[in-house]
Chain A
């Protein structure tokens, strides 16, 4: 008799064997791309008006916030608007990952109850969708930048590593919150308040350098602070970001990713009975 294809035995607490898990996840990578494509198609982002909305929505948002800045903060200039759009668009990458990720496990209930697969695919797909929504806004930002006549420089390439740090953080947050939502379903109702608070704590409506010294503590508590600051330095001002900001951002992203993924992987075998 041949060896069994699969053996199921009681699992120990903690992580599943990581190498088979990774293999099984990697063999299903088409699911992730296909899922995000279907999801985007379902939200009509494959049509002309859908894509127009994808661009129009952040433009309107940045317009509204710029109005707010002008009214509250007095006169403003082009660089300020560029800073606002650049950071706001990157912020929405993280915020969309959170809103997409929070319900990814509970919405995939049917699939989880009926198919054996690495559950982490679902929050990963949510982040991929957020990235697809982010790219058109990046193009818009560059158009704005050209119209405003801001100079280009090689230092702007720093945006690439910053983007990957943001992506890691977005993934980490999506994984963590999708798992929390299985146990506390009302976390998705708290989420709008959470993202709104995060928006105001981040250097989006103001520049990081304009923050009052007595509020500097906020900087340490917000993982997005060093990332958004570096992003604006590189993309808007065309100067190399401080390495301390980059490292702090990376440390945050990596820390949340490790904790969140550990939490998720050690819990995911229980999802089927918790849904």
Chain B
């Protein structure tokens, strides 16, 4: 641990061994609200701004992504996060990872976080997989030695073979997500966030990553999985949080919560939703 904590001031410290105990708090989210302004145009331009001058056209839209969400995540817990598109799942993950600051509330994180939000690795497609792994790790605050010590394991787990040295623009989407998952799962963070990354791998890799997730679970780490694959969530999670329109609708045992969610999807509404919206 001494080595791990020599890099003060970085967020995503990976720790090789886990010192946390079951049921210790990993992440505490209190009264979380997130409101942000986003642009309507895909590419905001000066030209568009000048053209719309005086016409009173709105350039931005205010989005209320999260509204008074309270969640505690404990070590040893695998929390599945479900909800329809736009429910605020990814926004919540980004706030926990420190990528977007919250508008209201307070988030306390008791451990190192590794994120795999919508496939983080591979930001520069013209560079090789190897370069991208190193750059992603360095940006996350790891040291060169730490990444080097993990690299072989990452490469082996991803099963990319020689493709690891090819530019990432030559990768298929499956290869992309395999590498991304390998990075996040190999650095053994205290808290691992996986945002819809399991869906693109082939059946064999999917099985392998599920095994890795179960391994991490038995190792008393905290895992947050954002997914639409309900069967997978039922299999690996021991807790489910259902978000809808930025609010936490239900939190509880996987089967009960997923059943309620699936019922809601078919009916289009449910008592739990109607109360608040």
- Asked whether, in the complex, the Cβ of B127 is within 8 Å of the Cβ of A42, the reply is yes
Instruction: Check: B257 CB closer than 8 A to any chain A CB.
Output: no
Nearest B residue to A6, CB-CB: B109
How distant is the Cα of A116 from the Cα of B193 in the complex, in angstroms? 13
A169-212 with Cβ < 8 A to chain B: 183-187, 190
Instruction: Check: A49 CB closer than 8 A to any chain B CB.
Output: no
The residue that B98 contacts in the complex, of A10, A39, A116, with Cβ under 8 A, is A116
B21-48 with Cβ < 8 A to chain A: 24-25, 28, 36-39, 43-47
How distant is the Cα of A114 from the Cα of B37 in the complex, in angstroms? 19
How distant is the Cα of A185 from the Cα of B110 in the complex, in angstroms? 38
- Asked whether, in the complex, the Cβ of A4 is within 8 Å of the Cβ of B108, the reply is yes
- Asked whether, in the complex, the Cβ of B139 is within 8 Å of the Cβ of A121, the reply is yes
Number of interface residues of A (CB under 8 A): 47
Instruction: Check: B174 CB closer than 8 A to any chain A CB.
Output: no
- Asked whether, in the complex, the Cβ of A34 is within 8 Å of the Cβ of B134, the reply is yes
A 222-251 binary contact with B (CB < 8 Å = 1; else 0): 000000000000000000000000000000
Instruction: Check: B64 CB closer than 8 A to any chain A CB.
Output: no
Nearest A residue to B193, CB-CB: A114
Q: Which residues on B are within 8 Å of A, measured CB to CB?
A: 7-13, 24-25, 28, 36-39, 43-47, 49, 94-113, 115-120, 122-124, 126-127, 131, 134-136, 138-141, 143-144, 167
- Asked whether, in the complex, the Cβ of B38 is within 8 Å of the Cβ of A274, the reply is yes
- Asked whether, in the complex, the Cβ of A111 is within 8 Å of the Cβ of B120, the reply is yes
- Asked whether, in the complex, the Cβ of B104 is within 8 Å of the Cβ of A31, the reply is no
13 A–B contact pairs at CB < 8 A? A20-B9, A34-B134, A34-B135, A39-B127, A107-B124, A111-B120, A111-B136, A115-B140, A116-B11, A184-B45, A270-B36, A270-B37, A272-B94
Q: Contacts A20-B9, A186-B46 known; list 7 others, CB within 8 Å.
A: A34-B134, A38-B131, A108-B123, A116-B140, A269-B100, A270-B37, A274-B38
Nearest A residue to B28, CB-CB: A4
- Asked whether, in the complex, the Cβ of B101 is within 8 Å of the Cβ of A10, the reply is yes
Q: 7 nearest interchain CB pairs? A: A114-B120, A110-B123, A23-B9, A116-B98, A31-B138, A4-B108, A111-B123
- Asked whether, in the complex, the Cβ of A113 is within 8 Å of the Cβ of B139, the reply is no
- Asked whether, in the complex, the Cβ of A115 is within 8 Å of the Cβ of B136, the reply is yes
- Asked whether, in the complex, the Cβ of A113 is within 8 Å of the Cβ of B99, the reply is yes
- Asked whether, in the complex, the Cβ of B102 is within 8 Å of the Cβ of A8, the reply is yes
Nearest A residue to B120, CB-CB: A114
The answer to whether residues A8 and B124 also contact, given A30-B143, A186-B47 and a CB cut-off of 8 A, is no
Residues on the B chain within 8 Å of A185, using CB: 43-45
Residues on the B chain within 8 Å of A107, using CB: 123-124
- Asked whether, in the complex, the Cβ of B144 is within 8 Å of the Cβ of A30, the reply is yes
How distant is the Cα of A185 from the Cα of B39 in the complex, in angstroms? 12
Residues on the A chain within 8 Å of B45, using CB: 184-186
- Asked whether, in the complex, the Cβ of B115 is within 8 Å of the Cβ of A114, the reply is yes
Residues on the A chain within 8 Å of B28, using CB: 4
How distant is the Cα of A222 from the Cα of B186 in the complex, in angstroms? 51
CB distance from B23 to the nearest CB of A (A): 11
How distant is the Cα of A26 from the Cα of B143 in the complex, in angstroms? 12
- Asked whether, in the complex, the Cβ of B12 is within 8 Å of the Cβ of A116, the reply is yes
Residues on the B chain within 8 Å of A23, using CB: 8-9
Instruction: Check: A5 CB closer than 8 A to any chain B CB.
Output: yes
Nearest A residue to B132, CB-CB: A38
CB distance from A192 to the nearest CB of B (A): 15
Residues on the A chain within 8 Å of B131, using CB: 38, 41-42
The residue that A38 contacts in the complex, of B8, B99, B127, with Cβ under 8 A, is B127
The residue that B138 contacts in the complex, of A11, A34, A42, A116, with Cβ under 8 A, is A34
- Asked whether, in the complex, the Cβ of A28 is within 8 Å of the Cβ of B44, the reply is no
How distant is the Cα of A6 from the Cα of B12 in the complex, in angstroms? 10
CB distance from A69 to the nearest CB of B (A): 35
How distant is the Cα of A117 from the Cα of B139 in the complex, in angstroms? 6
